[in-house]
Structure 1
């Protein structure tokens, strides 16, 4: 999604990057943010919840931060979908009595059907989805087309490395909480996001790789611009997805700083940019945040 590609997400439902990312010509330098007090240090790094196998993203600085960490905090601690996922989808993601064809106009339905036909997905089953679940499925189609996989996501890679080092992995949220957050959005908000996802589907495929490549090179300018567009064009969605969750992440980081030791925080990349980013909120609370 051209406007939603910076979103931080549950591993299996992320909408971040759907294009083929070329091999990097130089060593990766994704940014790290650091906040500390007398007896504790928190390293913060952005994650992409789906990634194409073989993309080099981890810098020496990120590897060192993980090696120093006494614990790791992800958005959710266990990236394996819960056993009751099917029931959650039926209960929160489907609405056969209110099909998409009754909510979208004829042009929007035609565009949606064209996307589905491109991936050999029948419209009949898709029509029963609630708008929030439909937009995630559309972005998932883009990701699969380009060979992106949640199992190769950065948070999944960090968790695997932490497990190898016997570093405890904790989470700010749960899979169920994220599902409830998405499904609890007003239908008008869900429809705004779905409509924009459909309208910008082709554009997203063409330009998402540029943004991901820029982040790997340490340049956040494009991501910052996209986050500002979300804040402007999808205000209610931005409030739920970024502002409210960023406040929760910052509350959690403050609690971590009340303890001692070294912690690596790794949450969706989109939470580190924009007017309500994690670094900005920390600074507003009086902390000094260093970007490296």
Structure 2
């Protein structure tokens, strides 16, 4: 079932497992999509929000695009947490009146207890979290255990490179927007994702190497299959996290096209595959999208 693996992708983009198998000995060729009009060219790439050291993912083509881009658009224009982050967590991530222990069954709570015990996290400190925030925290624990660096994401690399070049960086969303999106999901949907996160915690650490290798090689077939599965199995989750946000990203891309110059758009890889993807929505709106 793809759901458990997909929750990791929500928390951290497409992830790399823990195997020591070398990744992509040849020149990296992750997909790049292009849409343009008379005076604007937009290059679009997928990002991985966390990455382990030593993975060669940047293609020569992307390096060239960064050199000539007049602007860069990411999901967020800054990775510094907002000053009111604690307030956001309290208002949208906590629910002490509906603790997880009242929402999960005994087997699910036992699985959660095992995960937290492995990391020295008291269950009492977790019980008051809303389900959406709990599964993000569990995913973060898994990533740290698997050797991922929260500061090593592709989007962070792109922003750092753009800053070095003096290229303006803009964001389609804010931290507040993303908190609102996640916390606004129906509780039943949040619980389904949390349950699968608990069930597939161990397997998720080793299952995604093939997906990353395929992406680096320019092959999105595995991700496309899993996107179709999640759209069918958890429609509400898919609609909120992907369909609605993809339309928002495309609205922003159209605004960029109304101007001029060369722009790099870099958002999570999952937004570029499937029938409701950014490229598909652009084509539905009359644009020609080329994949390179």
TM-score computed with the length of structure 1 as normaliser = 0.95
Aligned to 2:291: 291
Q: Partners in 2 of 1:214 and 1:16 — Cα distance?
A: 11
Contact 1:15 1:136 in 2 (8 A): no
Aligned to 1:10: none
1:20 to 2, 13, 18: 18
Aligned to 2:220: 220
- Give the stretch that moved more between structures: 146-155 or 34-43: 146-155
RMSD: 1.3
Q: Partners in 2 of 1:85 and 1:18 — Cα distance?
A: 28
Deviation at 1:102, TM superposition (A): 0.2
Aligned to 1:142: 142
Classify the secondary structure of the residue corresponding to 1:241: helix
Aligned to 1:105: 105
Q: Deviations over 1:84-103 (max 9, x none)?
A: 11221122111111110100
Contact 1:18 1:143 in 2 (8 A): no
Q: Partners in 2 of 1:75 and 1:191 — Cα distance?
A: 25
* Equivalent runs, 1:1-292 vs 2, <5 Å: 1-7=4-10, 13-14=11-12, 16-17=14-15, 19-20=17-18, 22-292=22-292
* CA 18–54 in structure 1, closer or farther in 2 if over 3 Å, else same: closer
* CA 15–215 in structure 1, closer or farther in 2 if over 3 Å, else same: closer
Instruction: In structure 2, list runs of 5 or more residues that go unmatched.
Output: none
Contact 1:48 1:153 in 2 (8 A): yes
* CA 57–18 in structure 1, closer or farther in 2 if over 3 Å, else same: closer
* CA 225–143 in structure 1, closer or farther in 2 if over 3 Å, else same: same
> Between Structure 1 and Structure 2, how many residues are aligned?
287
Q: Partners in 2 of 1:267 and 1:155 — Cα distance?
A: 8
Classify the secondary structure of the residue corresponding to 1:262: strand
Deviation at 1:192, TM superposition (A): 1.2
Q: Deviations over 1:245-290 (max 9, x none)?
A: 0000001111111111000000000000011000011111111111
Q: Partners in 2 of 1:119 and 1:208 — Cα distance?
A: 22
Contact 2:41 2:261 in 1 (8 A): yes
Instruction: In structure 1, list runs of 5 or more residues that go unmatched.
Output: 8-12
* CA 123–15 in structure 1, closer or farther in 2 if over 3 Å, else same: farther
Q: Deviation above 4 Å: which 4+ runs of structure 1?
A: none
Q: Deviations over 1:172-208 (max 9, x none)?
A: 0001110111111111111111111112222211201
